Structure 1
Amino acid sequence: MTQQKTLAVIGTGVIGNGWIARFLAGGHQVIAFDPAPGAEENTVNFLKEIWPMLKTHGCLGASSIDNLRFASTAKEAVQDAYLIQENVPEQEELKKKVIAEVDAEAPADAIIASSTSGYKPSVLQEGCHHHPERVIVAHPFNPVYLIPLVELAGGKQTDRSFLEQAEAFYGSLHMKPLVMSGEIDGHIGDRLMEAIWREALHIVNDGVATTEEVDAAIVYGPGLRWALMGPFLTLHLAGGKQGMKHMLEQFGPALKLPWTRLVAPELTPELREKVIQGTKEQSGEVPVSELEQRRDRFLIKLMKLLEEENFWPAERVGHHG
C-alpha cells in the first residue's frame, strides 16, 4: 500500500478540486489554499457530489474526505508538503509569483508541480531563488479525478530526480504519467486538441457543418480508434500488412494538399454566436452537471474496457531504454 503523504493544493478551481479529489481518493492528506471567497465551501460541495462515484471507482487505501483541510495562507499549506500542486489562473506573471512564493516556503525536497496547460517549466522556475531544480509541470486533463494522463516536463534547471519521484508518485494514484523528452508551450495533448479545435472552428465558420456534425464526425469515427491507439498506431494499421511504410507512400502526397488551415479563424461575433448557439442546441435542456455525470459514467466504463484489453497507450512511457 502507498504510504500516506501530505500534499498541498494551491488554487481550487475546476482543476485544483479535481486534484484534491484524486489525492484524497489515493489515501493522502491534503491541505488546500485559495483566497477566493467561498472556495472551501465550493470544494466541499464538489467532493460530496462525486465521492460516492469515487468510492466505487478510484479510491485506494484509507481514503476519506476528512483528510482535507483548508489553510489560511499559502505558507501554512506548503510547510509540511511532499508535493505542491499549483493551479492558479493561466497568467504567466501570476504563476511565476505564486511558484516563487511557494519555493521560498516549502521544504527543500518538496516537489513543486504546476498544472499549467501552456507554459514551459523553464519559464515558471525563472523567479525561484531557492530550489528551482524541483519545479516541474504536471499537466492533467479534466476531469482530473478520472482521466489518467498527466504530462510531466522539466525545465532547464530541473533535477531529473524530481521528475522520477513525480512519475512514481502520480503512477501510485493509478495515473499514467507521461514524462516528456523535452518542453514545449502547450505540451502534447493540448497542442493536438488545439489543432483539431482550430480546424473545427473553420468548418463551422464556413458553414460546412454545425457543431453537432463536427462532434459526430469525431465521436463515431476517429475518436473511437484514438481511445485505444492514438493517431500514429491508427495510421500504421491503415497501411495494411506493410503498416506505416505503405501508408506514407499511399497518403503522404495528400499532406501537400491544402485540406487543413493551421491558423485559427478570427473569433468574430458571428462565429462566436454560431458556436454558442450550436452547443446550446446540442445540449438542449440538459444542464452541464448532468452532462458531466454522463461523461464520468462513460469514462469509467471506457477505462475498464481498456484495462480488459490490457492496452494502456502510455504503458511504457517514461522507460526510455
Structure 2
Amino acid sequence: MSKPIKRVTIIGTGVIGASWAALFLAKGLEVVATDIAPDAKKKLDDFISAAWPALEQLGLASGAAPSKLEFTDNLDAALAGSDLIQENGPERIDFKKDLYRRLDEALAQDVIIASSSSGLTMSEIQSACPNHPERCVIGHPFNPPHLIPLVEIVGGAKTSEETIERVSAFYRGLGKRTIRLRKEVPGHVANRLQAALFREMIHLIAEGVVSVADADTAVCWGPGLRWGAMGPTLLFHLAGGQGGIDHFFDQFTVPMNGWWKVLGSPQIDANVRKAVVAGVLDEAGKRSLDDLTAQRDRVLLGLLALRASE
C-alpha cells in the first residue's frame, strides 16, 4: 500500500470524471479513461482542451501533458496497471455494487478504489466486495474538481485506516484540501450544508419574500463573498469583536434560535419548480451555459490566486 500513485483510471467521463481527468493530467499523472457512451471520447477530449488554459494558469506539474491520456471502452483494459481507480458512475446502488464486485475481482489488493459518489455510503457499496473491501473509499470532489480544491474523504465500515491515510495524502499531493468524515451521512458534509442554504432560499422564493435573482445576489454578494475567505464559524468569531466566538454567542444566541424556529421546510412541487426555473432563466438572460461556466471559472481562478498567496 506504500507504492506511489502514478497511473489513474477514470471510470465514467461525464462532467465530474472529465474534470478529474484534466486535473490528474495537469499533475503529471498517466490517465486512462473508460466510458461506454458512444461520444464519450470526443466529449472528454473537448473538455480537457477547454480546461487546459486554466490549468496552465494554475501551474502544471513537470511532465504534465494531455497526451498522457488513454481512452478505451473496455473496462478490463482500463484497469491494467492502474494504481488508483476514480469511479464516477451513476448514483444507483445496484450499478455501484455490480461494478465494485467486478473491480474487487480484477484488481490487485493494493489498488485503491475511490468513488466520487455524492450521496451513497461506502459501507453499502463495499458490501459487494468479498476480497478487499478495505481499499474502497469515498473521495468526493466539488464541481469542477480541476478547480475546486475540496475533497471529502469517507470510509465505509470495512475501509482501512491505511487506505484513508494513503488516499488523503494522494489528494493533498495534488493540491486538494481534504476533510475526513468520521461518520457516514447521506450527502456527506458540503452538499448537506449547500442543501440547507438552498432549502431556505426555496422557502423565501416560494413565500414571495424575494426573487430568484435577489436570493442569489444576497448569497454571492453577502455571506458568500466572505465564505471565499474563511468559513462561517471563523467569520462569526470575528463578528464577536474582541470577545470572539464566545461573545458572538452572548450577542446572537437568542436571535439565532429565533430564526431557526421559523426557517422553512418547503417542498419542490410543480408550482415552486416552475417559478424557480423561470427565475433562473430570467437571471441568466442571454448568457448561455458555456458563458456562465466561463464566468464562474474566471472568478474561481482569481479567487484561487488570492488564496494561494496566503
Provide TM-score, normalisation by structure 1.
0.92
**Could you tell me how far apart the structure 2 residues matched to 1:60 and 1:14 are?**
23
The residue that corresponds to 1:193 in the other structure is 194
Matches within 5 A, 1:251-270: 251-257=252-258, 258-261=261-264, 263=265, 265-270=266-271
Rounded Cα–Cα distance in structure 1 between residues aligned with 2:196 and 2:159 = 29
The structural deviation recorded for 1:38 is 0.7
Task: Determine the C-alpha separation between the residues in 2 that align with 1:254 and 1:236.
Answer: 17
Aligned residues: 306
1:34-53 pair list within 5 angstroms: 34-53=35-54
In structure 2, C-alpha distance between the alignment counterparts of 1:165 and 1:63, rounded to whole Å:
22
2:81 counterpart of 1:80: yes
- The unaligned stretches of length 5 or more in structure 2 are none
Any conservation in 1 of the 2:5–2:84 contact (CA below 8 Å)?
no
- Distance in 2 between the 1:162 and 1:118 partners? 20
Deviation per CA, 1:50-82: give whole Å up to 9, x if none. 212222224211111111111232222113111
Return the letter of the residue paired with 1:249: D
CA distance in 2 between counterparts of 1:256 and 1:298 reads 35
Residue type of the partner of 1:137?
I
Write the letter of the residue equivalent to 2:307: L
Shift of 1:4: 6.9
Counterpart position of 1:317: none
1:134, 1:91 → 2: CA distance?
A: 21
- Residue equivalent to 2:92: 91
Q: CA deviation at 1:112?
A: 0.5
Q: Which deviates further from its counterpart, 244-253 or 273-282? A: 244-253
Helix, strand or coil: the match of 1:213?
Answer: helix
1:159 corresponding residue in structure 2: 160
| Structure 2 residue matching 1:243: 3-state secondary structure | helix
Q: What CA distance in whole angstroms lies between the structure 1 residues aligned with 2:38 and 2:85?
A: 22
- Deviation sequence 1:135-185 (CA, Å, 0-9, x none): 000000111111011011111101111111111111111111222233222
Distance, in Å, in 1 between the alignment partners of 2:108 and 2:79 is: 8
**Is the partner of 2:53 in helix, strand or coil?**
helix
Q: Which stretches in structure 1 are left out of the alignment for 5+ residues?
A: 311-321
Partner of 1:129: 130
Q: Which residue of 2 aligns with 1:109?
A: 110
CA offset at residue 115 of structure 1?
0.3
**Which amino acid in the other structure matches residue 216 of structure 1?**
T
Distance 2:218 2:33 in 1: 40
The answer (yes or no) to whether the contact 2:13–2:44 under 8 Å persists in 1 is yes
Kindly, what percent of the aligned residue pairs are identical?
38
Q: Which one-letter code corresponds to 1:107 in the other structure?
A: A
